[in-house]
Amino acid sequence: MTTGTDDRLTQPHLTPQRAALEMLAAWMGERFFRTFRFSEGDPAPFDAVLAQRERRIGVSVGLLWDEPPAEVTGDVEALPGAAELGELLTDDLDAWDEGGYVVWVPPQAQLPTDEPARSDFRISLGRGLRGLQPGERREVRLPVTLKLAKINADGAYVSVSGTLASQWTTISEGVQGAYHLDARALHRLPEESAEVDIIVSRVRDRAALLNTEELTDVRVHDYWLVSRLPAGAPRGVLVVGAPPELDPQDGTASRRAFRRSVQRAVEQRRAGDCELSVLVVMGALRHIGDELVTAGLRGMNPATYGALDLVALVADGQVRQVLQPRTLPWEQPR
């Protein structure tokens, strides 16, 4: 296992690791009412060191998916097309805009490669980024087409494949006949229940018009999340996402990746000196409420992560505390 410092944190451009670190530092400042700044010099053996006055906070950063090693270059990347799209969106930023931004690609989504879908996608995301203030996040509506078929005149239900499967009972209310909805083109539901209701209503409205063995399109919107990093982050747009084949609800894969990050962070802590040891992991989730990290930590032997003081998850443009510090160094008597 590699326990050394990840050079991707010190590069002048945005990486998933650097974005996670920027969000962590701002979140810690708001939560603990302290100022945390990036320490100059070599952070080894940690990935980064934050300073709070004279105190050292050693930070390890992990991803909940496999990423090509730091030394790999060329076309190898976790999410095909992410780097290129990030460069294009960075070029689209206003010349005076010094902000750092993140496009959070939903799990199992793929970036469009054909025209005009690719250009339309770029324009929609660019518009969504404009006007964001440091630390803000918003949803961007992207048009998608679902497929709805009426397979039988009997029954009163809609079977659903894809993200909308969680809504199948609501969609089925009041329908006449048996239907199948292919909703795999929809990768993330909106956070507002009223917006979800609009999608459900459109499916029902189309279902009412179908005869048996007919197929129709249902045009709705996908809701991708974009956010602006805290002030001071490197300028540019980062498109972050896991490999499309990764299932975020695969508990085995999630626990394995998390355990790997914990083990690496513990080894860094034992090799280094700090007043507070922190592990921050980044996940690719539709919503942060879908996370399995908290359950994964509860299922681990406390001795496995006992050397760590704080564990946090970054996903969906937010930070969630997973392990709370038992004590804080600035609360100790001098």
Sequence ranges of the domains in the chain: 7-81+244-327, 137-224
Q: What is the mean pLDDT of residues 109-119?
A: 91
* 127's tokens: 């518009």
Answer whether 277's CB lies under 8 Å from 58's CB. yes
Measured at the alpha carbon of residue 142, what is the angle toward residues 169 and 130, in degrees to the nearest 5? 130
Which pLDDT belongs to residue 67?
A: 66
Residue predicted with more confidence, 333 or 15? 15
In the block, tokens 């539901």 appear at 189
pLDDT at residue 169 is higher than 70:
yes
Per-residue confidence at 73, pLDDT binned at 50, 70, 90? very low
Per-residue confidence at 4, pLDDT binned at 50, 70, 90? low
Rounded to 5, what percent of the chain is helix, strand, coil?
A: 30, 25, 40
Per-residue confidence at 8, pLDDT binned at 50, 70, 90? low
Q: What is the mean pLDDT of residues 11-27?
A: 89
Element (H, E) at 221: strand 215-228
Which pLDDT belongs to residue 31?
A: 95
Which pLDDT belongs to residue 303?
A: 92
pTM of the predicted structure, to 2 decimals: 0.90
Which pLDDT belongs to residue 74?
A: 46
Beta-strand pair 55-63/156-162: unpaired
pLDDT at residue 285 is higher than 70:
yes
pLDDT at residue 165 is higher than 70:
yes
Q: What is the mean pLDDT of residues 16-37?
A: 95
pLDDT at residue 11 is higher than 90:
no
Strand order in the sheet with 156-162: 156-162, 177-183, 137-152, 215-228, 100-104, 236-240
User: How would DSSP label each residue in 100-117?
Assistant: EEEEEPPTT-----STTH
Mean pLDDT, the chain, integer = 90
Per-residue confidence at 96, pLDDT binned at 50, 70, 90? confident
Answer whether 169's CB lies under 8 Å from 181's CB. no
* 246's tokens: 């990764």
Residue predicted with more confidence, 94 or 26? 26
Percent of the chain scored above 70 by pLDDT?
93
Q: What does the pLDDT look like over 40-64, one tens digit per residue?
A: 888 999 999 999 988 999 999 999 9
Q: What is the mean pLDDT of residues 130-147?
A: 96
Q: What is the DSSP letter of 15?
A: -
Distance of CA 157 to the CA centre of its chain: 33
